[in-house]
Chains A and B, each alone.
Chain A
């Protein structure tokens, strides 16, 4: 079974063959990409419908001028009763050339849904299977999530640490709805270095 690094590399090669990248894949049939809109609509399902993602662009991010937009990644909440509830794992910011820039975690008010506990989110990540995905974008997203599992683990720890102090002083609902807290943690991405370190010594 190919590693996550191999899967990401394979997707990159196929994106390149098509003169595309993950964001262009999302926007390929979009005549006018508009700030604030979500692409696609409805959100792209993957992992047998247990995950959803969309891409959008808006000014409220910490990525600065080099950030074009970001994918929000959601996983279905296990305890959903009648209607599925969604939990936000993280956002994957992309630069203006369609390259992954950083992961970031947001406060709950930003994405709504159920608040994702660290261990539960990582379990959902571990359950992903890149090979089972049909589309190249879904494969790339799943492989990226698994390739950066350790960073996402640390990201969620940082997220929780950021909230921990406030939770001592305020009720959780108040903290998770605090609009002065947008991004709680981030983790930069250097995909070239990551793949190089993961694929070192292998014939790719």
Chain B
């Protein structure tokens, strides 16, 4: 065992943003294992200061291209709460639909384009498009469906224009909603094909377990995405206003992003955290997909996050059909959003693809933003990624260097990190 294995990956591929892996194993001993976040700092919380109430969501949407819908909606909710604006049931349902669209889009991008190559032993989806054309087309069709859905409800897939403070600037027509409903039903068939494909290759997901605290929103009436209280698998519920007491952000030298800890030295957020907290509220189809992978709460294998994402896609598709039925049955009307700005401060939270997201703003009487704070899911996961490094590397330290490298890359990818999101959060 007189050898030194060094794994140094600068700018890990097939993740959003810039992160490095740094591991040294010498004479069978792990000397160093670190997850570094090296993304350029962004400073959004400072950038929105002095901006009008109708501009904050437009700006904070730009935190992230992949979760721009989630940032937009969380920002709108916080602004509405700060100004005492109450939105209609139709707006709430339409926003839930838009969140489902983003969740499907983000999850299928991650599972199909970023993770699947590892399971099929290919370097990228581009390579797969030659060797596994039909399988890639299944992924492309689900992705396309979610993009069309985002376009239809939000105006476009990235940085949506239609959602505004108080409601929507433009609505889809009932005919468009009915057409979407048909496509969602077709999407469920494509999902079955994806489930089969991943299941046949799921043995490549490492069997690694580490006791972990999982944090997600939880709601008495539904599998929480748009609304809820903060819940933990270690027990306890907290109102969203108390978010800083849950996230406890702190800074570490190796990272431009902040880290988080709550009950233990780290916690995990995202699809697996939601499933572990709210499994019983999944749709019937989603539960059957979970069953196909034998995924049950509480699962402490972070690699299963990708499987939890597939389960959620089933839930998103099925619940979207129900939401469209409800919107149409309740009698769809083209409401106008009307808002009178006023002074106030409030925090809001939404479950976005990568986990629980918090935005908080304060406005003066003229509706000018005087304070902002955003706590991003990937930030909350960085600490847990580091703890998983410390747990997993000693278990596999005797493997060949290449195998360790691939496994650690897969571990980071399993979290679906969105690093450019995570590098700008404030207030310790």
- Decide if A and B are genuine partners: no
List residues of B whose CB falls within 8 A of some A CB: none
